[in-house]
């Protein structure tokens, strides 16, 4: 799973409703793989407003990935920034481990790159 997609995720347990704790899901015991992907600046710029930067910084720091603390004023023309962003959100994949919700403690397992989002009966 790309860090882009992780940044979009929030816990979907029915009674987990505290908006401050539903995301980012905290990575635990993860394995990371870099998979090369053709840079696409237009797509990055399109996605930028949808990213939760605070959540992304938190996640990146958890994974020991260097990341700018804030988005530059004119990101679309900042090549260096876009390149870093591309590496972080498009090429960094979590392949094993789990994601833990700080709101309800549900642990979503990741195996062979597939995140298990199935909930138990009492969570739906």
CB 27 to Zn ion: min, Å: 15
103 binds Zn ion (CB under 5 A): yes
Q: Which stretch binds another protein (CB under 8 A): 26-34, 57-65, 67-75, 109-117?
A: 109-117
Burial 69-97, CB ≥16 within 10 A → b, else e:
eeeeeebeeeeebbeebbbbbbbbbbeeb
Q: Do 7 and 89 contact (CB within 8 A), yes or no?
A: yes
Restricting to residues 27-46, name those near another protein by CB under 8 A. 37, 40, 42-43, 46
* Contacted by 9, from Zn ion, another protein, none: CB < 5 to 8 Å by type: another protein
User: Within a 13 Å sphere around the CA of 33, how many CA atoms are in the beta-carbon half?
Assistant: 11
Taking the CA atoms of 97, 85, 55 and 52 in sequence, report the sign of the dihedral they define.
negative
5 binds another protein (CB under 8 A): yes
Q: Do 108 and 98 contact (CB within 8 A), yes or no?
A: yes
* Contacted by 103, from Zn ion, another protein, none: CB < 5 to 8 Å by type: Zn ion
Residues that bind another protein (CB under 8 A): 1-2, 4-5, 8-12, 14, 23, 37, 40, 42-43, 46-47, 50, 52, 90, 112-119, 121, 123-124
């Amino acid at each position: 799973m790309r860090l882009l997609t992780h940044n979009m995720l929030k816990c979907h347990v029915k009674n987990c409703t505290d908006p401050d704790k539903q995301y980012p899901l905290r990575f635990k015991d993860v394995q990371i793989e870099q998979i090369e992907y053709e840079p696409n600046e237009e797509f990055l710029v399109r996605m930028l407003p949808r990213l939760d930067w605070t959540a992304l910084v938190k996640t990146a720091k958890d994974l020991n990935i260097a990341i700018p603390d804030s988005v530059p004023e004119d990101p679309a023309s900042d090549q260096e920034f876009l390149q870093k962003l591309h590496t972080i959100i498009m090429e960094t994949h979590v392949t094993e481990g789990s994601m833990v919700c700080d709101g309800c403690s549900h642990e979503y397992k990741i195996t062979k790159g597939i995140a298990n989002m199935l909930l138990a009966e009492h969570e739906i």
